[in-house]
C-alpha cells in the first residue's frame, strides 16, 4: 500500500476503527476483538488500528482491509510504549500489516535507539510509517524525518500534554495541517460525531476512534460515572461579599442543616469556618460557590472584583477533604440544572445578590472556558455609564433602594435578561437576595424575555445548593 491508496480509502470512509483492549479485561481476546472489527467493517470502516501480533494475525485472517499495527510494550526507564524498539517493529513487519505506528514523541527511546533508525527499518520493509505524536514540535520533527502518516494520538497522554479539556485538541490539529504534507490523522478523545466533522473540516484526512466505538468497558464506565454515587452527606459553601454560608446536604440534595457568619476578613478565617463545619458533620466532600473566577483544576481564585478581602490567589484546598470550587454564578446554574423542574433543559440563571452572576448549563455541562471563566454579563455597560453589576448588585444599595435606584436596576435587569437570551436558554431562573426581594419580584412581570423567567425554587439557598450539587452530580468537563 502507498499513500495514494490510503488516501483513496479514507475518502470512502475517513473513520479508522481502533480495535484494542486493555490487558486482563474480558475484551482481551482475539476472537472478541475480531467481532468488534467486523462490526465496524460492516458499517463501512476501511482501515483498522490493531495492537499485538496475535490480535493482528487473528483479525487479518478473517478480514481483508488494511491494518495499522502497533505493539504496546514497556521498557525499564522509558516512557515510550507504542512500538518502542526495532524488535517490535520487526514483529509487526512479520504480520504483513500495511502500516506500522510508533511513538514519535521526542522522548528518549529504549536501548538508545533513534526515531530515524526505526523509521528507516519500517520503510525499507515497504510499509507505511505512522507517527503517533503529542506536541507540535514532535509533529514537525516527524514531518522532517519523512513519516507517511502523522497523528495526534499521544496529545494529552504524555507528561507535557495533560489535557485541559476532555475533548480533542483541535488547535493542535489546525497547526499540524499547516505544518505537514503527510496524511494527517486526528486521534485522542474523539467521542461525538460533531468532533469527527470538526476534525475533517480542519483538514484531517481521517479520524481514529477507539473506546467510543469498540470498548464497551469504557462506555459503560462513562455512563455509570454519570450517575450519582455519593452515599454520604456533603457540604455546600456559598461565599459572597456579605455572608459566608455553609449547608449540610443529603445525597438527595436536601438541606439538612445551615449555618452562616458575616463575610470574614481573612482567608484563614474562611477556611477555618469551612473546615470546622465539615468536621462537625463528618463530611469529606465540599462544594464551594464563590465570587470571581476560580480555576477548578487547582481550586484557586485567579480573578476577583474586590468584594471579598484577602481573596485573589487563594486556594480552596484541604488535605483531608475532596473540594471542588467554581464561580458562584456557575455553581448556582448547576444547582438549578439538577432540579427536577429544570433537569434536561438548557438552563440559565441570573443571580442578583451582592454582585451579579450568570451561567448556562447545556447537556450536563456548565458553559465555561478551560479554567472556569463565567459569562461577563455583570461587566456590560449601560447608558448611565455604569456596569450592570454597579447598577443592579446589592452592594450598591444601602437598605431598601430608592425609586430611582429601582428604576435603574430594572433597566439593568432587562439588559441582562436580553444578553442571557442571546445564549438561547429554555428558561432563565432568577435568584439571589436582590432577585428575591419583594420590590424586584413585584416588578418581574414587567420584564420581557424570549424564554420563561422563573423564580428559584431554592429560595435564599440557591448558591449553597449549587455548591452541594457539584459533589452529588459532578458536572461534565470539570475533571
Q: Tell me: pLDDT of 423 over 90.
A: yes
Show the domain range for 472: 229-479
Placement of cell 427536577 in the chain: 340
- Domain with residue 200: its CATH number is 3.20.20.70
The answer to whether residues 209 and 17 touch, using CB atoms and an 8 Å cutoff, is yes
Confidence of residue 396 (pLDDT cuts 50, 70, 90): confident
- Among 195-209, 388-402, 443-457, which stretch is predicted with the lowest mean pLDDT? 388-402
Q: Tell me: pLDDT of 297 over 90.
A: no
Q: Hey, is 24 helix, strand or coil?
A: coil
pTM for the full predicted model = 0.83
pLDDT for residue 147: 98
Q: What is the pLDDT of residues 46-103, one digit of tens each?
A: 999 999 999 999 999 999 999 999 999 999 989 999 999 999 999 999 999 999 999 9
Choose one of 208, 223, 238: the last residue of a domain. Answer: 223
Confidence of residue 403 (pLDDT cuts 50, 70, 90): very high
Give yes or no: residues 257 and 194 share one domain. no
pLDDT for residue 478: 63
Q: Kindly state the average pLDDT of the residues 235-257.
A: 94
Q: Kindly state the average pLDDT of the residues 149-167.
A: 86
- Domain with residue 292: its CATH number is 3.30.420.40
Greatest alpha-carbon span in the chain: 85
Q: Kindly state the average pLDDT of the residues 315-329.
A: 84
Annotate 207-253 with DSSP letters as a single string.
Answer: EEE-HHHH-HHHHHHHHHHHS----S-EEEEEE-SSEEEEEEE-TT-
- Looking at residue 371, the DSSP 8-state letter turns out to be T
Confidence of residue 372 (pLDDT cuts 50, 70, 90): confident
Choose one of 223, 240, 264: the last residue of a domain. Answer: 223
Q: What is the pLDDT of residues 125-134, one digit of tens each?
A: 999 999 999 9
Give yes or no: residues 321 and 352 share one domain. yes
Cell numbers linked to 82: 507504542
pLDDT for residue 374: 80
Choose one of 186, 201, 223: the last residue of a domain. Answer: 223
- Between 161 and 140, whose confidence is greater? 140
As a whole number, the mean pLDDT across the chain is 93
**How far is the C-alpha of 447 from the C-alpha of 449, rounded, in Å?**
7
**What is the end-to-end Cα distance of the chain in Å, rounded?**
41
Give yes or no: residues 213 and 234 share one domain. no
pLDDT for residue 164: 58
Give yes or no: residues 193 and 233 share one domain. no
- What is the number of domains present in the chain? 2
Q: Tell me: pLDDT of 162 over 80.
A: no
pLDDT for residue 397: 86
Confidence of residue 477 (pLDDT cuts 50, 70, 90): low
Amino acid at each position: 500500500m502507498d499513500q495514494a491508496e490510503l488516501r483513496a480509502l479514507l475518502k470512502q470512509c475517513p473513520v479508522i476503527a481502533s480495535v484494542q483492549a486493555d490487558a486482563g479485561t474480558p475484551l482481551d481476546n482475539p476472537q472478541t476483538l475480531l467481532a468488534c472489527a467486523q462490526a465496524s467493517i460492516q458499517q463501512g470502516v476501511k482501515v483498522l488500528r490493531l495492537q499485538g501480533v496475535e490480535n493482528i494475525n487473528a483479525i487479518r485472517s478473517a478480514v481483508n482491509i488494511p491494518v495499522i499495527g502497533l505493539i504496546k510494550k514497556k521498557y525499564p526507564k522509558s516512557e515510550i510504549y507504542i512500538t518502542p524498539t526495532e524488535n517490535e517493529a520487526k514483529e509487526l513487519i512479520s504480520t504483513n500489516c500495511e502500516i506500522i505506528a510508533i511513538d514519535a514523541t521526542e522522548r528518549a527511546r529504549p536501548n538508545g535507539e533513534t526515531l530515524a533508525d526505526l523509521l528507516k527499518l519500517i520503510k525499507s520493509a515497504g510499509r507505511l510509517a505512522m507517527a503517533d505524536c503529542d506536541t507540535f514540535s514532535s509533529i514537525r520533527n516527524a514531518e522532517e524525518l519523512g513519516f507517511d502518516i502523522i497523528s495526534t494520538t499521544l496529545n494529552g497522554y504524555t507528561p507535557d500534554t495533560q489535557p485541559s479539556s476532555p475533548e480533542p485538541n483541535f488547535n493542535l490539529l489546525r497547526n499540524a495541517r499547516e505544518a505537514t504534507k503527510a496524511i494527517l490523522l486526528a486521534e485522542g478523545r474523539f467521542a461525538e460525531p460533531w468532533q469527527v466533522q470538526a476534525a475533517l473540516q480542519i483538514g484531517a484526512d481521517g479520524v481514529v476512534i477507539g473506546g467510543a466505538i469498540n470498548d464497551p468497558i469504557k462506555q459503560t464506565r462513562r455512563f455509570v460515572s454519570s450517575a450519582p454515587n455519593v452515599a454520604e452527606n456533603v457540604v455546600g459553601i456559598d461565599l459572597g461579599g456579605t455572608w459566608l454560608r455553609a449547608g449540610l446536604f443529603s445525597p438527595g440534595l436536601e438541606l439538612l442543616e445551615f449555618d452562616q457568619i458575616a463575610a470574614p476578613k481573612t482567608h484563614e478565617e474562611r477556611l477555618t469556618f469551612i473546615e470546622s463545619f465539615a468536621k462537625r458533620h463528618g463530611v469529606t466532600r465540599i462544594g464551594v460557590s464563590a465570587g470571581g473566577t476560580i480555576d477548578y483544576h487547582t481550586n484557586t481564585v485567579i480573578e476577583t472584583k474586590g468584594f471579598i478581602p484577602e481573596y485573589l490567589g487563594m486556594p480552596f484546598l484541604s488535605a483531608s477533604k475532596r473540594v471542588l470550587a467554581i464561580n458562584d454564578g456557575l455553581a448556582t446554574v448547576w444547582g438549578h440544572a439538577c432540579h427536577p423542574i429544570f433537569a434536561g433543559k438548557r438552563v440559565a440563571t441570573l443571580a442578583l445578590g451582592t454582585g451579579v452572576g450568570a451561567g448556562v448549563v447545556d447537556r450536563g455541562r456548565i458553559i465555561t472556558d478551560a479554567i472556569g471563566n463565567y459569562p461577563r454579563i455583570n461587566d456590560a455597560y449601560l447608558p448611565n455609564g455604569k456596569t450592570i453589576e454597579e447598577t443592579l448588585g446589592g452592594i450598591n444599595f444601602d437598605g431598601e433602594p430608592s425609586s430611582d435606584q429601582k428604576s435603574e436596576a430594572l433597566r439593568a435587569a432587562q439588559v441582562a435578561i436580553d444578553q442571557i437570551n442571546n445564549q438561547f436558554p429554555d428558561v432563565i431562573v432568577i435568584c439571589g437576595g436582590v432577585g428575591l426581594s419583594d420590590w424586584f419580584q413585584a416588578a418581574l412581570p414587567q420584564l420581557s424575555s424570549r424564554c420563561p423567567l422563573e423564580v428559584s425554587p431554592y429560595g435564599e439557598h440557591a448558591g449553597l445548593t449549587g455548591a452541594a450539587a457539584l459533589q452529588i452530580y459532578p458536572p461534565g468537563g470539570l475533571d
